[in-house]
């Protein structure tokens, strides 16, 4: 079953260092209070992503030493600092047997929704976004989280898939889904350019 607390960390490597950073990060042994951990490269090579499953929000308090280890191991190849956010589980239109998706690819889909609109948004996404997800076999995992601590607050969908990127993205570029995106923009989304974004990543196995 998907984790109740998700820690997302992302960094930008220096030019030419993406593979080196992702391999080194994946090879670091995780502390015992991390339930599951997976490292990914963005398909465009721009960033490296780490997903960590935690048993509770309080477990994050024990992670600064682990973060220092990652800083020492990766810092010389990083063009940015680590960007972290803690999220809590809301629902799973398509759940995973593990704490995190184990598919070769994940996509992060973020939207910021004003609190006053959130009840209406939850009902709307159930009959639109989630209906598409549940009836699309290319989407193997689809998890909905909400930020607990983040500089990019709001909803985060974690979508997992194993087929071709083209087949997967076709679902979200269909006329029906583009209408859903327009409805979201008109009714629910706030936060400017970062109020809505998507990005696809490929899993990096530990050496």
pLDDT band at 194 (very low <50, low <70, confident <90, very high): low
pLDDT tens for each residue of 53-78 = 999 999 999 999 999 999 999 999 99
Could you give all domains of the chain from N- to C-terminal order, each with its CATH number? 5-204 (3.30.70.100)
Strands 48-54 and 34-42: antiparallel
pLDDT tens for each residue of 84-123 = 999 999 999 999 999 999 999 999 999 999 999 999 999 9
Query: Could you say which DSSP state residue 194 is in?
Result: G
Average pLDDT (172-184) is: 89
Q: 142 by DSSP, 3-state: which?
A: strand
Q: How far apart are CA 45 and CA 41, in angstroms?
A: 6
- Report the pLDDT value the prediction gives residue 89, as an integer from 0 to 100: 98
Number of H helices, E strands in the chain: 6, 8
Contacts of 192 (CB under 8 A, 6+ apart): none
Query: Could you say which DSSP state residue 101 is in?
Result: -
Is 202's pLDDT higher than 80?
A: yes
């Amino acid at each position: 079953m998907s984790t109740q607390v998700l820690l997302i960390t992302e960094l930008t490597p220096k030019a030419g260092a993406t593979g080196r950073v992702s391999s080194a990060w994946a090879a670091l042994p995780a502390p015992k209070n991390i339930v599951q951990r997976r490292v990914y490269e963005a398909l465009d090579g721009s960033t490296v992503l780490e997903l960590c499953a935690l048993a509770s929000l309080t477990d994050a308090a024990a992670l600064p030493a682990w973060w220092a280890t990652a800083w020492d191991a990766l810092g010389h190849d990083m063009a940015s600092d680590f960007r972290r956010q803690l999220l809590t589980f809301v629902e799973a239109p398509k759940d995973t047997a593990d704490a995190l998706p184990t598919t070769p690819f994940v996509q992060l889909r973020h939207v910021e929704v004003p609190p006053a609109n959130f009840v209406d948004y939850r009902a709307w996404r159930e009959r639109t976004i989630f209906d598409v997800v549940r009836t699309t076999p290319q989407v193997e995992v689809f998890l909905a989280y909400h930020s607990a601590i983040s500089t990019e607050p709001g909803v985060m969908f974690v979508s997992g898939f194993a087929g071709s990127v083209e087949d997967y993205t076709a679902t979200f570029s269909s006329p029906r889904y583009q209408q859903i995106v327009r409805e979201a923009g008109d009714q629910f989304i706030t936060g400017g350019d970062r109020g809505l974004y998507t990005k696809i990543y490929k899993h990096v196995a530990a050496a």
